[in-house]
Chains A and B, each alone.
Chain A
Amino acid sequence: MAVTKLFGASIKRREDPRMITGRANYTDDVRLPGTLSLAILRSPYAHARIKRINVEKARQLPGVVAVYTGKDLADTLAPVPCAWLPPNSDLKVPEYRALAIDTVRYVGDGVAAVVAEDRYRAADALAAIEVDYEILPAVVDQEKAVAEGAPQLYADVPNNTAFVWRLSGGDVEAALAQADVVVSQRLVNHRLIPTAMETRAALAYYNPGSGELTLWCTSQNPHIHRLLLSAVTGLPETRIRVISTDVGGGFGSKLPFYAGEMIASAIAKDLGRPIKWVEDRRENFVATTHGRDHIDYVDVAAKRDGTITGIRVRSYANMGAYLSTAAPGVPTWLFGLMLSGPYTIPNVAVEVYGVLTNTTPTDAYRGAGRPEATYILERMMDLVADRLGMDPVEIRRKNFIPKDKFPYTVATTLQYDSGDYELTLNRALEIVGYDAFRKEQAEARKQGRLLGIGLSSYVEVCGLAPSQAAGAMGFQGGLWESATVRVHPSGKVSVFTGANPHGQGEETTFAQLVADELGVPIDDVEVVHGDTGRIPFGMGTYGSRSTAVGGSALVYAARKVRDKGAKIAAHLLEVSPDDIVFDQGRYYVKGAPDRVKTFQEVAGAAYLAWSMPEGVTPGLEETHFFDPINNTYPFGTHVCVVEVDPHTGQVTFRRYVAVDDVGHVINPMIVDGQVHGGIAQGLAQAVYEAAVYDENGQLLTGSLMDYAIPTASMVPTYEVDRTETPTPVNPMGLKGAGETGTIASTPAVVNAIIDALKPYGITHLDMPLTPQRIWQAIQQAQKGS
């Protein structure tokens, strides 16, 4: 591995100058002359039949160009496909239309679309559309939705059950039967709203002369969106270009394929004018996918000494009203396979009900499945420890997969690549001063003060791969990544990656990689992403896979370039390629370092092609498709220290320590930033954020006033540290760092608060642990005692 100056250096980000000066180009910043504004009328009811739509008044308003209903678009736009179809799960994929045709199934379901001269006139027109609804009974809660007599969303999906997915390894029933203790708990992993600061947007332009459709949109995966857009519009991919260069955060919510983008495209073609749609925030709350929303019934079998022998989980996963693009994969493969976490649990069984309800569809949200699995394990570890009178540290230590057992195959058949779980635990305990804290806690308790410490040791699966596994899981795509390295005649380099960073900083880290591999100055390397017109193909950015998979593709492509360069250099220096040494951008003859060609000279020679070696073609450009042999498995331990005010239930964060191991690190500054942001989101789930519906299916937390994403004073200072255990599955030995923070932090915070409440005998509370909920639990406990 080429560990030179740039790999491992906290290089300042090259995406920043345009962003700190207001010159970035987010979708709504793109201007085309003659653009019309598109607005979508959304259902105010969670479940209703559309009896009649009258668009005449709207059509006649000044500035209104056109109005479309679901019927008007039914022939132009095919239903939105679902791209993750878990096999053997009795899967039923309901028809998902860009605009509802006769039934709306959640508050926010599209009903009509208006195109007007500007956004104000489009809004006026929405208000003038008259819709007669026949209100149908709605169901919001997934457990109620599968119960007998529940309102049914679809005639052909009995019991609102879209799929039932099962997986097991070992013999859980036997483990439970033979256990010294069985600890059972119902855990609610409530619904969250991703809330990227940029809402979704689309600008579509169709050129009738060339037949080409260009769509600027807020996408984490433009090539996949192009493919799906081609599928719904019938336009060939060669006539569609999707561009998403600057995207204002995604966290999974910009992975799915949505109505707004499709409708803008269809109408742009219909009217021959550029069409822009920009979601407003309250629309974002209902029309962009939500995340989590699991109800889990968990049974853990353990021996008296703390050895965990089995875990059984039954999950009800709320899918919302339709199956969004990757939704079925989240509570199944990304969740079920990870249910033994960093522990040697030999018997695992999981059963997942994917349930349709009258709510906004759910899909991937940062971590997608792994936070849910980690929450279960880390909560249960504490519950079992409590039952056995063990220290939470000891029970974890006892069950960790030992570091000399890697690669390790878990009960669900995944093979973990590498790990040293105890190392991160020890480091975290050392930083936080665990033993001293326990003493302080004991003292504080005597004075009636509630201090608590919470641990979360996790392992996650990321760098999702290989494609063969993707196929077996029912993912309708591959999990490889592609990269092209194009060296220009001057020796300057353009890198084209199929990953599409939107905050993760790969414009910088990928340049670091390539500059290292080719020995050129980093400023000579440009990284191009997010444009299907320039990049061969790509899977996009999600699942912490851009660097592990996309970065590796890039390294291999750069190495191919380097090797071709070596042949050309050997030819120019009149030696055998075997006698060429490449070092820091120079090709020289072994033993004769003064006989040298620089990389730039070689690039020039490759393009002049006046004298090429036998069988070597002109030019210097290579593409590599990298399909790793395995996923990567980052791990770590987070520790949170809190104080709870017994009179108000208010939680104060005293410390937050994160020790992660993501393998080797290209740019520590960027990885730290990923960890910070991840912690903030996971911590917010533990104590602040919750999407709440009333029983009619109205979203009660439909604005930033009611949905509490944290502000600067609501989060603690994070103390971030790392250990480095490389993975063998890619050339750089790195694993992926985008989701570790979110996965680890939620249970760390909950465990800390529950630990603080221990004097009251409280062993579990469902999130979010708001002051009110904590206060009530304290009151309850005091009454009880």
Chain B
Amino acid sequence: MKHQITVTVNGTQYTSEVEPRLLLVHYLRDVLNLTGTHVGCDTSQCGACTVLINGEAVKSCTVLAVQADGAEITTIEGLAKDGQLHPLQEGFWEMHGLQCGFCTPGMIMTAYDLLQKNPNPSEEEIRHGLEGNLCRCTGYQNIVRAVQYASDKMRGQPVAAGND
């Protein structure tokens, strides 16, 4: 039996009929074709699927599409505004915060939530805040620097120089 849901994703409202067991991440990827949100595990460990639901970072593989009925969702595709990269996206680019890029959308969404709650985190707080997201490529150092870059920029501070 299918259920009707209405969600707003990246500012656009969608109404769909979904099976009750459909995960939100599969709804985003397979129904809405928003493939920037990735799936990296089946035990809610990796964070590759992280999106914002009503402004909070949530692993979208842990939520059923029907539970998101009425919610406001932001995915990585919705982060840049008017062709302007979000400071986090900029930070990841400037600081070489990604290699294969698979973990990146989830990392950025989690970092978004982190900076929202703590605009000026210490290195330790950043590392702690990203614990639910796994990256196999970068060894995390440049991800930390990317978040620091965004934090500086969002607070109107001069940003650290990029890599040279």
Contacts and interface: CB of A to CB of B under 8 A. Distances in A.
Interface of B is mostly: loop
Interface in A93-131: 118-120
B136 A251 contact: yes
Nearest to B100: A503
B76 interface: yes
Contacts of B59: none
B60 to A, nearest CB: 13
Contacts of B35: 22, 25-26, 28-29, 31
Nearest to A717: B141
Contact of A21 (B41, B76, B133): B76
B41 A19 contact: no
Contact of B96 (A13, A195, A197): A13
Interface stretch (A142-150, A161-169, A579-587, A702-710): A702-710
A81 to B, nearest CB: 28
B93 A17 contact: yes
Contact of B124 (A16, A672, A713): A713
A530 B127 CA distance: 34
A16 B93 contact: yes
A15 B93 contact: no
A120 B20 CA distance: 12
B127 A669 contact: no
Interface stretch (A425-433, A483-491, A674-682, A767-775): A674-682
B42 A280 contact: yes
B56 to A, nearest CB: 19
Nearest to B19: A120
A118 B29 CA distance: 13
Contact of A12 (B19, B94, B101, B126): B94
A411 to B, nearest CB: 34
A19 B146 CA distance: 15
Contact of A19 (B104, B126, B133, B163): B104
Interface in A665-706: 668-670, 672-674, 676-681, 703-705
Interface residues of B, number: 63
A677 B137 contact: yes
A293 to B, nearest CB: 19
A783 interface: no
Interface in B129-164: 130-144, 162-164
B96 A669 contact: yes
B86 to A, nearest CB: 9
A10 B77 contact: no
A653 to B, nearest CB: 12
A24 interface: yes
Interface in B31-69: 33-43, 45-46, 48
A16 B137 contact: no
A10 B164 contact: yes
A249 interface: yes
Interface string B104-132: 11001000000000000001101110111
A26 B102 contact: yes
Interface string B2-35: 0000000000000000010110001001100111
B163 A22 contact: no
A20 B128 contact: no
A268 to B, nearest CB: 19
A169 B36 CA distance: 53
Given A22-B77, A198-B38, A704-B45, A715 B139 contact: yes
Interface in A227-252: 246-249, 251
A28 B39 contact: yes
A678 B139 CA distance: 7
Contacts of A25: 35
- Give 8 closest A-B pairs by Cβ, nearest first: A22-B36, A248-B102, A19-B101, A680-B139, A503-B100, A669-B163, A503-B99, A22-B76
7 contacts: A15-B101, A17-B93, A20-B92, A28-B39, A120-B22, A503-B99, A717-B123
